[in-house]
Amino acid sequence: MAKFNVFNREYGWIELICGPMFAGKSEELLRKIKRLEYADVDCLLFKPKIDTRNKSLIKSRNGKKMLAIEFDDPFEIYDVLSKNVNHPQVVAIDEIQFADPKIIEVVEVLAKKGIIVYAAGLDNDFRNNPFPITSSLASMAEHITKLSAICTECGAPGTCTQRIIDGEPASFNSPIFLIGNIESYTVRCRNHHEITDKKFSKKSDKFIKNYKEI
């Protein structure tokens, strides 16, 4: 059991860390947990099982790693917490965009029960369309940290994850889930983010064709 309630508050809340790949989301999550652990605050780390890159580890790009409990069904988080005699004050979940949608309810219930929930995940997929889980959490969260990387083409804030397949921008119709790293992904600004086969409505197509940029 922790020596004190480090937050000095009787209720929980939700903090979301989101952004594209290469933005340091996992690093920020681990930083938040590390500073709490120095104060002996009990934290539990989770990640959905679907990510096979670093089994049971949350790894940041600066080489830091921490053990995480993998879950298939978000309700497994209740089981882990119920069995933990230390009553952890903090739950952290990485790669939340890959979790089953039931995670939304679980996060809400945990926060209601006084737990501080840190969630990290991609805001958008390679097409730059929102991941629904992350969008929902952004609406629910008390605090949001939106991180960006650096566009590899121009150095502007890199807010979009660019998927590259065989040296070419991926097609809009390719599957959303493709676990990978620098062999298939890079980061771009909105201007340099490329996607092939993206269809707009006729009205948008006409506007794109005719509107003269200043």
Q: Site residues (CB under 6 A) for ligand TTP? A: 21-26, 51, 53, 61, 95, 122, 125-126, 161, 176-180
Contact of residue 74 among Mg ion, Zn ion, ligand TTP, none (CB under 5-8 Å per partner type): none
Angle between helices 132-140 and 103-112 in degrees, nearest 10? 20
**Min CB(135)–Zn ion separation in Å:** 24
- DSSP element (H, E) containing 82: helix 76-83
Q: Is 194 a catalytic residue?
A: no
**Catalytic residue, candidates 27, 28, 95, 153:** 95
User: Listing from the earlier edge strand, what are the strands of the sheet with 185-188?
Assistant: 168-169, 160-165, 185-188
Size of the site for Mg ion (CB under 5 A): 1
- Length of the chain equals 214
Identify whether the C-beta of residue 94 lies closer than 8 Å to the C-beta of residue 68. Answer: yes
Closer of 53 and 190 to ligand TTP (Cβ):
53
* Rounded Cα–Cα distance for residues 44 and 84 (Å): 10
CB atoms within 10 A of CB 130: 16
* Cβ-proximal residues to 135 (8 Å cutoff; 6+ apart), any chain: 123
Residues 24-43 that bind Mg ion (CB under 5 A): 26
Residues 108-167 that bind Zn ion (CB under 5 A): 151, 153-154, 156
**Min CB(62)–Mg ion separation in Å:** 11
Which residue stretch of 21-29, 82-90, 104-112, 181-189 sits at the interface with Mg ion (rule: CB under 5 A)?
A: 21-29
Interacting residues with Mg ion (CB under 5 A): 26
Residues forming the active site: 95
